[in-house]
Amino acid sequence: MTISLLDSGLKIIERIIPNPEERAKAKEKLLALKQGGELKKIEIELQSISDARAHDKQSYGGGAVDFLRGIVRPVITLSAFSFYVYSKYSSIPLTKEDYAIVGMILAFWFGGKLLGKDVQK
């Protein structure tokens, strides 16, 4: 990672905690996390997420393969929501599992937007 998690944390503490005593306590807690190895674990996890994103962005030569790879999730989403709308208008009772599937799809599409945003600027 270009900027360490410790440096980022210290900058954030400086910006959001105006009280000097509280700021010092927050810095101590952050340094204790570093000494305990917790920050290293978080950095490793963030690096694996970054690697996964890089893998998802890669192209497989264009054409049909990239098209199929990109259309799978939207087709599954459209199918699930079509079933949901159809069942609502045709009075088919939905189970808890059906609602869970629709909820997972919503969480995937809209929850993923939060993860896709850059935290560092």
Taking only the tens place, the pLDDT of each residue in 24-69 is: 888 888 888 888 888 788 888 888 888 877 776 676 776 777 788 7
Residue 4 within any structural domain of the chain: yes
37, part of any domain: yes
Alpha helical stretches, state H, the chain:
5-16, 20-35, 38-57, 63-89, 96-106, 112-116
Q: Do 111 and 67 belong together in one domain?
A: yes
Handedness of CA 74, 76, 78, 81 (dihedral sign): negative
pLDDT digits (tens, 9 = 90+) for 64-92: 777 887 788 888 888 888 888 898 899 88
**Three-class HEC string of 101-117:** HHHHHHHHHHHHHHHHC
pLDDT at 110 over 80: no
Residue 90 phi/psi, 5-degree rounding, is -105, 10
Q: Classify residue 34: in a domain, yes or no.
A: yes
Same domain? 48 vs 8: yes
Token code pair at residue 2: 């270009």
Structural domain contains residue 120: no
Residue 41 and residue 80 share a domain: no
In a domain, 93, yes or no: yes
In a domain, 2, yes or no: yes
